[in-house]
Structure 1
Amino acid sequence: MNKAMGNDWKTIISLGAEGGSITLLGKEQQPGQWVFKKAVNEMNFDDLEDESFQPTESTEEVRPLKSSLYNRGKEATSWEKAIKLLDHYPWPLLNPREVHPAFRKRVWNALQKEVKEKYGYRIDSHRLNKWSKLCLPEYSPKMVTLSTWLQNSTHTTVLTGAGMSTESNIPDFRSKEGWWNNIDPRTVATTDALRNNYDLFHEFYSMRIDALKGCTPHKGHEILAAWEYKGLIQAIATQNVDGFHYAAGNKNVYELHGSIQKFHCENCAKSAKEDEFLSKSNCKFCGGKLRPGVVLFGEMLPEESWTESLSHIRKSDLVIVIGTSLEVYPASQLPQMTSGKTVYINAEVDASHHNFDLIIEGKAGEVLKLVDELV
């Protein structure tokens, strides 16, 4: 409705339940300077629509109000004090009816804070969707849900695959348009090729190294680094070998398939330099063949990276899987190792991903940017 109510008072938040309503009113006295008060209709909190609501210490003292409609005389001169006018009521759990467009983001932030501090995030998805439609109409409910889960989680692990890096213009081997149509890595990214067809092996990895030249982390990588810094995520387990998570600023990264930026001798395991590999030099220590530090088909995953990734996954409240087809074992099994919520983000989604709690179809960077705007 958003109607002026006497002397230009406008509805900022309108909340209802069976039998009554609460309205936070606001009046702009000067540009950007508001004063607030509340208006209350008779309300019986026993009739709350939200069946999942359980009275807490802060709501047990609420009683039905006696008058049919009245303004509470106390006025607030700041947004923080305005929200406190509603503290007597479990307002996040009521039925939201209207939010003033100028206050949408502030109401959403206040809602998140209130739910976290007083209700332990016990707000059902139906109620949350109502709030999000009023406060964040430009965002899809899935983005809002993920942002809420992310903020609510005490331990979050991210698992990334090739689709995480495609927006950095790195070819994705597994997409429909990817290099799998032209080169089957299972014939060249193998220990057999390394030992028995080194020319092909060297050409393949030289091509991959050249493909990385000029490529840099994109906005999605930077967002994940910022989330780690803020404490929103605790670890990244990645199937990628490009090193972009480290380059973007993440610290707790576990490279399940190794790194194409590191090189060593296949024979003696001594470290080597990139230019030594690209020039097809032999190991200067033993004369053996040089190779990048990636996990080849048929090799075991790095024990420390696997153990740490599994440990983080198992204690996570939230696991976010980004840009992986989940076809390569054993990394594909990691999302199943958590008792927390699971989210799948990928440009290509099919029926095989139905077991995730939330599925978002879209490019990694674009999805992460939208979610980041909400946290």
Structure 2
Amino acid sequence: MKLVALTGAGISKPSGIPTFEEMGDLRQKLSRDYFESNPENFYDILLKMKEKIDMAMPNPAHIALAKYDIPIVTMNIDGLHKKALSKNVIEIHGNLEYVECKKCKKTFDFNIVKKRIYCDECESLLQPNVVLYGDMIPLYFNAVELIATTNELLVVGTSFYTSTSSDLVYIARNAGAKVTIINDRAEEKLPEYLKNIFGF
């Protein structure tokens, strides 16, 4: 029995990370257009998100997925699956670990943007390691490959606002996988569900 999890913002809500729906117009500001026209404001927003993320701890849903070593495709950029010590995690929207200068091919710890958002060598605008609205998803086909081979897809904390989540669920169903959706109270329901499957 091969399980794969597809996780969205709802899995991290009990860890204190608000969903996009709770953060007003944030969704519009996480776009390629907004980043290029308002880079200072954009990085202010990401720094505020990072403060919340750095304080957040994995909740029982993250921990259960790590405990049973379930491969994960996540739409979250909060890194909580890795904090929970999950080994196989595809972060299709990236993370807030670093920024890079595409011209110099240099990477910097994300916190450099507190001081400067331009490369100290060539003055190019530093790029976040985050997939923005309007971008291609570089790891999309890695996610498709993983999901297409599973017997059961656990969809956890996903609003289906983005077409990406709907597409991945469609791919799983098309490949004959069972799709189990646990969207509310995942921190209680997911550990229980997995315990019933694995028996411990």
Mapped to 2, the partners of 1:256 and 1:316 lie a distance apart of 18
Partner of 1:237: 73
Answering whether residue 56 of structure 2 is matched by residue 184 of structure 1, we say: no
Answering whether residue 161 of structure 2 is matched by residue 365 of structure 1, we say: no
Q: Secondary structure at the match of 2:163?
A: coil
Answering whether residue 16 of structure 2 is matched by residue 169 of structure 1, we say: yes
For residues 1-375 of structure 1, the aligned pairs below 5 Å read 154-174=1-21, 178-179=22-23, 182-186=24-28, 188-228=29-69, 233=70, 235-265=71-101, 267-302=103-138, 305-338=139-172, 339-347=176-184, 363-374=185-196, 375=199
Mapped to 2, the partners of 1:344 and 1:286 lie a distance apart of 47
TM-score (norm: length of structure 1): 0.49
Shift of 1:274: 2.2
Mapped contact 2:97–2:109 kept (Cα < 8 A): no
Mapped contact 1:158–1:320 kept (Cα < 8 A): yes
Larger Rg: 1
Letter in 2 for 1:198: P
Q: Secondary structure at the match of 1:167?
A: helix
Q: Secondary structure at the match of 2:166?
A: helix
Shift of 1:281: 4.1
Comparing both structures, which one devotes a greater share of its residues to helix?
Answer: 2
Q: Secondary structure at the match of 2:86?
A: coil
Mapped to 2, the partners of 1:162 and 1:221 lie a distance apart of 12
Shift of 1:266: 5.4
Mapped to 2, the partners of 1:157 and 1:271 lie a distance apart of 31
Mapped contact 2:40–2:117 kept (Cα < 8 A): no
Mapped to 2, the partners of 1:291 and 1:206 lie a distance apart of 14
Shift of 1:308: 2.1
Alignment CA distance shift 1:327-1:238 (3 Å):
same
Greater relative contact order, per chain length (Cα 8 Å cut-off, separation 6+) = 2
Letter in 2 for 1:345: I
Letter in 2 for 1:371: Y
Mapped to 1, the partners of 2:165 and 2:114 lie a distance apart of 29
Mapped to 1, the partners of 2:195 and 2:79 lie a distance apart of 25
Mapped contact 1:163–1:346 kept (Cα < 8 A): yes
Shift of 1:222: 1.1
TM-score (norm: length of structure 2): 0.89
Q: Secondary structure at the match of 2:42?
A: helix
In structure 1, list runs of 5 or more residues that go unmatched: 1-153, 348-362
Mapped to 2, the partners of 1:247 and 1:327 lie a distance apart of 26
Mapped contact 1:277–1:291 kept (Cα < 8 A): no
Letter in 1 for 2:191: K
Q: Secondary structure at the match of 2:68?
A: helix
What whole-Å deviation, never above 9, does each CA across 1:259-279 have from its counterpart, x for those lacking one? 122221355452112221122
In structure 2, list runs of 5 or more residues that go unmatched: none
Partner of 1:107: none
Aligned length: 194
